[in-house]
């Protein structure tokens, strides 16, 4: 600065005490001030929730300081930035994660204890930010943590839903959905930016105009909605860098529709305006398919348009033409949900910036990359042309033009192979004409990433075979990863401290490959003893939670066997339940003297079913019906318990994962694109019982197949097995347990009939019957291993030791180097 600005800056500096201090006394002062001035309670009398609010605001202040420094530094350096576009972010709670990444966890705990509060208790006051469905959304959250930690100049963009993923309430064993109005008690982790807002347009029509002698298209929109930014600072660990997750909320536009006001219907005019807010009001709760809903399409365009206006504004602040746009901007599409960004960039560059089609297209082809998260063709998004035409008429024209050029180019390469041309076309012809968003993304992105190796192989050999043959170089994969900060340090502090003690350093929290150092101590009796102790404490915590939630008392000596994830037929929770019935049946039919040999088990299942997914809901009901029977059978007692954990979410996962002995990842091979839950369990020293699917295949390479319990058909065998249909051999035990369900052994036989029909009579699409025998063998192997606690503990240590490759730090580094071309930009302060 110079002159007047310099004098002003100096005066401000003179008034400042410097950065906020992190010693316990300074923290106490800050907390008390927030109690008084932010929460507006008396410093002399406030409760746990108010203390949580005040503490959060004190932490937020520190986040803001770092956020400012980081943004100023990025602005000064102007590096190539990554913009990560995702319709879902499953952030969970922020307090514990923030204080750990800021390095002030212990100071906060000290400060609070002197004020008579306990950090852990306050952390429990926070609700989850559940702006996502499952794996894809939590992956985005893990990746943001890694991007910040690795100092990458990244921004996340998404939607600020007022209602997150529904709350699951179980009544008589049936799932009911309740709205999650998560903002009810305020959200100290976001900063509302009333001045960062953009007009987003919908509907209307396209007209032609002559500008400087050239024809150009002008979109005359029919409706305008305002997008307002809410910033969520994401702190890195062991760095000052704090990146931004900017979420958009819809607000009525400032531009008034004079017509309706003038007609004198003031109340209705206001109510209509208010409707704009519905765009960002609710998250779609189905992660299987999204087809043809106008509101969904509006959400997609709303967040894409606002984000791009923001990105282009930032770019234009530093550059006066678009020549270097591809050197400064990388746009990552998290699945096809944000793929309207492609025609939107074309529209802005061609219609508003008047760059000309070819130049705009050249830019588009350089800036976009796309990651797909699904294996199933039916999971690929389609948008009905009619819908697009009415909501975004100009975008439809642009998509048609892109497709026309693509088809012409393709014809030159492959000739008039009409079958192939129609398979690859962005436009799907038929009774209902659709836009295939995956085809659009593949045509326009320079890279198409899968989320595990086998996923990418399936994309290349099946789902996108035609495209792979055309552009083999576009297809890559980056195996998913999760952040060890949240999934070990935050959620399992006991194990975290133990790891640091034995490795002699905390450096693994940033450099997770160091975990392999545990391998040399895996058989060390002292480490084993301490490892078991930590795990026992975690099991106690989980047992208390189970009792509080379900009233079931469980024995700590039992094996805690966990399957927590969304309920899906392909994830085969039904297979798990049927094997639990088999176990129960075996115990019941055993001689009393043999029961001593039974390894006691607590089977824990948790997960939400999409509200319209009937079969998944029946699986939940079956779980409860079976649990009711088993848990009330005093004859079986502690040998077997089954509990369903309701309302599974990120915070529940943080509690359950550290306490699990065994976890199940048992999808029919070839169906789970990656799976990330397994990685969290692995990091926490939980053994896996799994099929060779998704990222499990790579986990086997890291820890060895003898360090886990594998079973089931392999990816390449599934097709042939399916073709056998009714001729498939299924074991007698399978028929027996299904019959027990059919015959009403657990009640509700009418209700369960259609569920049983999905696995019998030749219709067992997910191969529960044919995998049953090998599943039972794997279960038996797990029982046998559990009896030998020394062996089990060694396997547990080796699991953690081999988990480093599944850190999102590794994933983000691979993307940065191979896909985005970005480099770290570390804030020096």
Tell me how far, at minimum, the Cβ of 129 lies from ligand CR6, in Å: 17
Closer CB to ligand CR6, residue 402 or residue 610? 610
Q: How far is the CB of 381 from ligand CR6 (least distance, A)?
A: 10
Quick check: 132 and 90 in contact, CB under 8 A? yes
- Residue closer to ligand CR6 (CB basis): 752 or 806: 806
- Pairwise CA distance, residues 154 & 82, whole Å: 5
- Assign 477 to helix, strand or coil: strand
Active site residue 373: yes
- Whether 372 sits among the annotated catalytic residues: the reply is no
Is there a catalytic annotation at residue 539? no
CA-CA-CA-CA torsion sign (654, 658, 661, 665): positive
Of 647 and 672, CB closest to ligand CR6: 672
* Residue 564: strand, helix, or coil: strand
Residue 374 has φ and ψ, to the nearest 5°, of -135, 160
By beta-carbon proximity to ligand CR6, the closer residue of 87 and 402 is: 87
Annotated catalytic residue within 34, 66, 246, 373: 373
Given a contact cutoff of 8 angstroms between Cβ atoms, the answer to whether 711 and 774 are in contact is: yes
The distance of closest approach from Cβ of residue 799 to ligand CR6 in the complex, given in angstroms and rounded to an integer, is 19
- CA dist 244 and 70 (Å) reads 10
CB 463 within 8 A of CB 475: no
Is residue 676 annotated as part of the catalytic site, yes or no? yes
d(CA 335, CA 748): 39
Tokens of 421: 């041309």
Residue 83's CB is within 10 A of a number of other CB atoms, namely 22
Residue nearest to ligand CR6 (CB): 135
How far are the Cα atoms of 98, 151, 214, 770, 809 from residue 71, in angstroms, in the given order?
Answer: 18, 12, 40, 56, 21
The label of the residue with tokens 């080796």 reads 798
Q: Is 680 a catalytic residue?
A: yes
Which of 259/378 has CB closer to ligand CR6? 378
Residues 505 and 507: their CA atoms lie apart, in Å, by 5
Based on CB atoms, which residue is closest to ligand CR6, 288 or 460? 288
Catalytic residue among 347, 571, 665, 805: 571
On whether the CB atoms of residues 546 and 552 are closer than 8 A, the answer is: yes
* Minimum CB–partner distance for residue 665 and ligand CR6 (Å): 10
Which ranges constitute the DSSP H helices of 251-353? 258-262, 266-274, 294-318, 325-328, 341-347
Whichever of 518 and 673 has its CB closer to ligand CR6, that residue is 673
229, 159 Cβ separation under 8 angstroms: no
Half-sphere exposure of 505 (CA within 13 A, CB side): 11
The C-alpha atoms of residue 207 and residue 682 are separated, in whole angstroms, by: 58
Which residue among 565, 665, 794, 810 is the active-site one?
565
Return the closest-CA partner of residue 684 out of 604, 802, 786.
Answer: 802
Minimum distance from CB of 227 to ligand CR6 (Å)?
24
Closest of 287, 294, 304 to residue 248, by C-alpha: 304
- For the four alpha carbons of 547, 552, 558 and 559, in that order, the dihedral sign comes to negative
Residue 407, burial from CB neighbour count under 10 angstroms (0-12, 13-18, 19+): middle
Identify which of residues 226 and 335 has a Cβ nearer to ligand CR6 in the complex: 335
CB of 701 to ligand CR6, least distance (A): 18
Residue pair 229/190 in contact by the 8 Å Cβ criterion: no
CB of 445 to ligand CR6, least distance (A): 17
Three-class DSSP labels, 381-426: CEEEHHHHHHHCHHHHHHHHHHHHHHHHHHHHHHCCCHHHHHHHCC
Residue 166 or 325 with smaller CB distance to ligand CR6: 166
Number of Cβ within a 10 Å radius of residue 681:
28
Contact 752, 740 (CB under 8 A): no
User: Catalytic pick from 680, 794, 805, 810?
Assistant: 680
CB of 607: closest distance to ligand CR6 in angstroms?
12
CB nearer to ligand CR6: pick between 190 and 381: 381
Q: Is 571 a catalytic residue?
A: yes
Marked catalytic residue, from 70, 479, 676, 730:
676
Closer residue to ligand CR6 (CB): 452 or 796:
452
Q: In this structure, are residues 59 and 102 in contact, taking their beta carbons and an 8 Å threshold?
A: yes
The closest of 391, 312, 400 to 352, measured between CA atoms, is 312
Least separation in angstroms between CB 140 and ligand CR6: 9
CB of 648 to ligand CR6, least distance (A): 14
Q: Is 629 exposed, middle or buried (0-12, 13-18, 19+ CB in 10 A)?
A: middle
| Strand partners of residue 246 | 157, 231
Binding site for ligand CR6 (CB under 6 A): 134-136, 139, 287, 335, 373-374, 379, 451, 480, 672-676, 694
Nearer to ligand CR6, 534 or 673 (CB): 673
Minimum distance between the CB of residue 87 and ligand CR6, rounded to whole angstroms?
10
Shortest Å, Cβ 619 to ligand CR6: 16
- Sequence-distant (≥ 6) Cβ neighbours of residue 732 within 8 angstroms: none
**Residue 252, Ramachandran bin (φ over 0: left; ψ between -120 and 50: alpha; else beta):** beta
Active-site residue, from 566, 572, 665, 794: 566
User: Which residues are designated catalytic?
Assistant: 373, 565-566, 571, 676, 680
């Amino acid at each position: 600065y110079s002159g007047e600005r310099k004098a002003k800056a100096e005066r401000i500096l003179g008034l400042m005490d410097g950065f906020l201090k992190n010693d316990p006394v300074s923290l106490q002062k800050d907390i008390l001030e927030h109690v008084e001035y932010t929460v507006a309670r008396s410093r002399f009398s406030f409760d746990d929730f108010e203390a949580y609010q005040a503490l959060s605001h004190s932490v937020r202040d520190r986040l803001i300081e770092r956020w400012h420094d980081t943004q100023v530094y990025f602005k000064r350096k102007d590096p190539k930035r990554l913009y990560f576009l995702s319709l879902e972010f499953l952030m969970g709670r922020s307090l514990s994660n923030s204080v750990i990444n800021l390095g002030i966890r212990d100071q906060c705990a000290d400060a609070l204890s002197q004020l008579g509060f306990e950090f852990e208790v306050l952390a429990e006051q926070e609700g989850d930010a559940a702006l996502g469905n499952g794996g894809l959304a939590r992956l985005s959250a893990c990746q943001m943590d890694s991007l910040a930690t690795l100092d990458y100049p990244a921004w996340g963009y998404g939607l600020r839903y007022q209602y997150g993923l529904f709350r699951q309430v179980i009544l008589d064993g049936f799932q009911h959905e309740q709205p999650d109005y998560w903002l009810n008690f305020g959200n100290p982790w976001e900063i509302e930016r009333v001045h960062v807002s953009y007009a987003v347009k919908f509907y209307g029509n396209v007209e032609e105009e002559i500008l400087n002698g050239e024809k150009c298209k002008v979109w005359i929109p029919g409706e305008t909605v305002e997008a307002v930014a809410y910033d969520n600072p994401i702190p890195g660990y062991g760095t000052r860098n704090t990146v931004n997750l900017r979420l958009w909320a819809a607000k009525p536009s400032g531009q008034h529709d004079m017509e309706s006001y003038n007609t004198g219907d003031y109340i209705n005019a206001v109510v209509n305006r208010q409707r704009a807010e519905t765009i960002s009001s609710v998250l779609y709760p189905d992660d299987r398919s999204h087809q043809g809903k106008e509101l969904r399409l509006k959400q997609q365009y709303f967040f894409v348009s606002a984000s791009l206006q923001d990105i282009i504004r930032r770019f234009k602040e530093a550059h006066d033409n678009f020549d270097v746009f591809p050197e400064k901007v990388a746009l990552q599409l998290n699945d096809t949900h944000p793929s309207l960004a492609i025609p939107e960039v074309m529209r802005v560059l061609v219609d508003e910036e008047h760059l000309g089609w070819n130049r705009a297209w050249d830019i588009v082809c350089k800036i976009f990359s796309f990651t797909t998260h699904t294996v199933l063709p039916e999971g690929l998004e389609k948008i009905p042309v009619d819908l697009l035409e009415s909501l975004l008429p100009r975008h439809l024209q642009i998509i048609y033009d892109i497709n026309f050029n693509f088809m012409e180019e393709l014809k030159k390469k492959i000739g008039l192979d009409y079958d192939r041309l129609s398979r690859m076309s962005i436009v799907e012809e038929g009774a209902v004409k659709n836009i295939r968003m995956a085809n659009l993304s593949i045509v326009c992105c320079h890279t198409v990433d899968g989320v595990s190796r086998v996923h990418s192989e399936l994309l290349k050999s099946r789902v996108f075979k035609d495209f792979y043959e055309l552009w083999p170089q576009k297809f890559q994969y980056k195996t998913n990863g999760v952040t060890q900060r949240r999934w070990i340090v935050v959620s399992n502090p006991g194990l975290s401290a133990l790891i640091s003690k034995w490795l002699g350093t905390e450096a693994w929290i940033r450099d997770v490959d160091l975990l392999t150092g545990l391998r040399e101590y895996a058989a060390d009796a002292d480490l084993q003893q301490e490892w078991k102790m930590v795990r026992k404490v975690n099991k106690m915590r989980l047992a208390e939670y189970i009792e509080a939630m379900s009233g079931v008392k469980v024995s700590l000596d039992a094996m805690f066997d966990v399957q927590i994830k969304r309920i899906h037929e392909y994830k085969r929770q039904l297979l798990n339940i049927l094997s639990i019935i088999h176990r129960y049946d075996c115990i019941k039919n055993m001689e009393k003297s043999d029961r001593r040999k039974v390894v006691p088990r607590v089977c824990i299942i948790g997960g939400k079913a999409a509200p319209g997914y009937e079969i998944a809901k029946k699986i939940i009901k079956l779980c409860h019906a079976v649990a009711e029977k088993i848990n009330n059978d005093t004859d079986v007692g502690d040998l077997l318990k089954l509990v369903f954990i309701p309302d599974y979410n990120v915070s529940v996962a943080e509690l359950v994962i550290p306490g699990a002995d065994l976890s199940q990842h048992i999808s029919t091979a070839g169906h789970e694109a990656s799976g990330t839950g397994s990685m969290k369990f692995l990091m926490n020293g939980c053994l896996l019982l799994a099929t060779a699917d998704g990222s499990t295949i790579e986990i086997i390479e890291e820890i060895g197949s003898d360090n886990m319990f594998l079973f089931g058909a392999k990816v390449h065998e599934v097709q042939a097995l399916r073709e056998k249909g009714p001729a498939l051999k299924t074991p007698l035990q399978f028929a027996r347990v299904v019959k027990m369900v059919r015959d009403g052994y657990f009640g509700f036989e009418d209700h369960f009939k259609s569920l049983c029909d999905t696995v019998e009579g030749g219709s067992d699409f997910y191969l529960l019957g044919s995998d049953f025998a090998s599943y039972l063998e794997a279960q038996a192997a797990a029982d046998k291993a559990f009896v030998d606690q020394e062996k089990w503990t060694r396997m547990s240590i080796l699991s953690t030791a081999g988990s480093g490759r599944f850190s999102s730090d590794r994933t983000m580094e691979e993307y940065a180097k191979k896909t985005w071309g970005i480099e770290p930009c570390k804030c020096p302060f």
